[in-house]
Structures are given as C-alpha cells and as structure tokens.
Amino acid sequence: MSNPTKLYVVVPCYNEEEVLNETSSQMLALFGDMQADSLITEDSRIIFVDDGSKDKTWEIIDSLTKKDPTFGGIKLAHNAGHQNAVFAGLMTVKDDCDCAVSIDADLQDDILAIPKMVEKYQSGCEVVYGVRNKRDTDTFFKRTTAVAFYKLMELMGVKIVFNHADFRLMSRRALEALANYPERNMFLRGMVPTVGFKSDCVYYDRHERFAGESKYPLKKMLSFAFDGITSFSISPIRAITVLGTIACIIAVIMAIYTIVSKIIGHADAGWASVMLSLWFIGGVQLLSIGLIGEYIGKMYKEVKRRPRFIIEAYINGGEKRENISDKG
C-alpha cells in the first residue's frame, strides 16, 4: 500500500452561504474516512476560495477555519469568475500538497469520487478527470446545450474530455506545468488536457444543487462556451475564410453573367442580382470583421498581462499568510 497522500481540495464559492455549512461538514466527514483508511494525511486540507461574494460566504469560511484546521480559506479581492477562482486556488496551494482536487461548492459532483481519484493518483496518474455518467438531474435545456457544446468543441478540434467539468485531481507536477500557462482567457477543461501526463477518469452521477441557485445564468454559460471555442480553436475563422471564398466565386459568376447580359442586350435584368450580391458580400464582410475582432480582443487581453487574481488573505492551519498573488 502507498503512503498517505497530502490532499488539498479547492472549492470555489460565489455567494454560497446557503450551501457552505452542509458542504463543509460532508467534506470533513469524508476526510475523516479517508484518513481512517490511511488514504490521505492528517494535514490534508479543504480550501474554500471566496470569489468576491457579496453575502456571508467569507464570514462562514473564516469561522470554519477557526473551528477546524482542516479548513482553509482564500479570499479574492473581487469577483474573478469561476475559472479564475479555481486557478487562483490551485496555484496558491500547489506548493503545499501532493495533489489537489477542484470541486464546486454545491455538491452537484459526488464527493465519493474523491477517494477514487486519490487511488488513481497513488497508482501513478497525474491528472484524474471526474466524468458524469448521466445528466438526469440537469434540466432538459442544460443537458442539450451541454451536449451540443461538447460536440461543437470536438468538431473544432479542441481536445476536451466529454461530460467533464471542473471536478478533477491534479498532481503537483501537473499543477507546476499548468502554472506555466500565461493566458488570461481561462478555460481550464481545455487547458488541462494539453498539459499531458498520465491521466484517467473516474465516473459518478451528478446530483441536483441542494440549495441556492446556479451562479451560471444563460448569459454566463453562452459567453463561457464562446470563450472556450475562440480561445482554443481557429476553425471559426477558417470557416469564414471559406465562406468569403465562396462569396467571391459567386461574385465572379455574377460579374460574367452581368457582362454577358449587357452584350446580349438584357441590361436592366441585373438589378435584383446586383442588390443580392451587394447585401450578401456586405453581410459576409461584417461577419468576418466581427470574428477577427473577437481574436484581436483576446490578444488585447493577453498583451495587457494583468494578474488573473489578487489574493487578499490566505488562511492555512489557523495561520494567516498575506501578499500571495499571480506571478504568471
């Protein structure tokens, strides 16, 4: 049997006051079980990342850290978004642990998958993906949009694990590698597979959010999907180039047709077709400019190299550390 692993669980929280007490006690119980089985060490930790919540989230985290040294907290100075919060947590704890698991605060992902992930880690995996078996508990809308999203990503040549969200284990080595990704447009489930190393999956059933509501409204979901595609794939821009080429060929045919009509003497028959191609080409151009703009916008964000997160406080084992931030 392997030595116990020093495990850190990173939990991003945005306005999660309704779920934190339940989540923390379930996780603490699980840690107790895993420690009893000598799977993880006594100094393993559960670290909550407060992503600039407006409710009592940080107060709850703070009191948890005082109650039990297993709990730790990271407070981000403002709402950086789910992906940045997860990244902030992982980068902050990476030097303290053997491996880290990221999991949402709402317990939709089955925490019983965590011991299985640790076992895979102990047998040599550097990255273990949590994959949902079925999506019965999601709404029909969420299910279909999610499937469409994964299919689209696949079609565009983005390496992505089907039905895997941000519930995963990463070894310290994998985290060190991830730390070298300087990009600002964070899409972790696209980035992690490009890190490489030996990986495996653990399957689980996804539950319903037991309290509070989704912090991912449709607008955030769409922008997340759009970001994922444009950060990882240039297929959209290729498709536009193809469309532009086809439009040009049509335009040449139209030009020949117009000239021939003119010579034959059917000149005024051309009005409709001219109007048509005018609109068509105008449309294609606008679309292309918009899409190119999307990439330029991304480059703009990258060249600014702003920190992706700023940490206000980090409590670990009852001791407070300050001035830790993104050096990527």
Residues found near Mg ion in the complex (CB under 5 A): 104, 106, 108
* Contact positions with ligand UDP (CB under 6 A) in 32-71: 51
Of Mg ion, ligand UDP, none, which one does residue 191 interact with (CB within 5 to 8 Å by kind)?
none
3-state secondary structure the chain: CCCCECEEEEEEECCCHHHHHHHHHHHHHHHHHHHHCCCECCCCEEEEEECCCCCCHHHHHHHHHHHCCCEEEEEECCCCCHHHHHHHHHHHHCCCCCEEEECCCCCCCCCCHHHHHHHHHHCCCCEEEEEECCCCCCCHHHHHHHHHHHHHHHHCCCCCCCCEEEEEEEEHHHHHHHHCCCCCCCCHHHHHHHHCCCEEEEEECCCCCCCCCCCCCHHHHHHHHHHHHHHHCCHHHHHHHHHHHHHHHHHHHHHHHHHHHHHHCCHHHHHHHHHHHHHHHHHHHHHHHHHHHHHHHHHHHHHHCCCCCEEEEEEECCEEECCCECCC
Nearer to ligand UDP, 51 or 62 (CB): 51
Using CB under 6 A as the binding rule, whether residue 146 contacts ligand UDP is answered as: no
* Contact positions with ligand UDP (CB under 6 A) in 184-203: none
Nearer to ligand UDP, 23 or 199 (CB): 23
Of Mg ion, ligand UDP, none, which one does residue 72 interact with (CB within 5 to 8 Å by kind)?
none
* Contact positions with ligand UDP (CB under 6 A) in 214-233: 214-216
Stretch that binds ligand UDP, among 113-121, 210-218, 232-240, 258-266 (CB under 6 A): 210-218
Tell how strand 319-321 and strand 311-316 pair up: antiparallel
Nearer to Mg ion, 106 or 166 (CB): 106
* Contact positions with ligand UDP (CB under 6 A) in 107-126: 108
Residues 278/49, Cβ–Cβ less than 8 Å: no
Nearer to ligand UDP, 172 or 209 (CB): 209
Q: How far is the CB of 168 from ligand UDP (least distance, A)?
A: 14
Q: How far is the CB of 50 from Mg ion (least distance, A)?
A: 16
Residue in 45, 82, 172, 189 binding ligand UDP, rule: CB under 6 A: 82
Of ligand UDP, Mg ion, none, which one does residue 190 interact with (CB within 5 to 8 Å by kind)?
none
Tell how strand 199-204 and strand 311-316 pair up: unpaired
d(CA 230, CA 297): 11
Using CB under 6 A as the binding rule, whether residue 153 contacts ligand UDP is answered as: no
Using CB under 6 A as the binding rule, whether residue 156 contacts ligand UDP is answered as: no
Nearer to ligand UDP, 198 or 306 (CB): 306
Using CB under 6 A as the binding rule, whether residue 98 contacts ligand UDP is answered as: no
Using CB under 6 A as the binding rule, whether residue 132 contacts ligand UDP is answered as: no
Q: How far is the CB of 307 from ligand UDP (least distance, A)?
A: 17
Q: How far is the CB of 184 from Mg ion (least distance, A)?
A: 24
**How does 302-313 read in b/e, with b if 16+ C-beta sit within 10 Å?**
eeeeeebbebbb
Using CB under 6 A as the binding rule, whether residue 73 contacts ligand UDP is answered as: no
Catalog residues that contact ligand UDP under the rule CB under 6 A: 12-14, 16, 51, 79, 81-82, 85, 104-106, 108, 209, 214-216
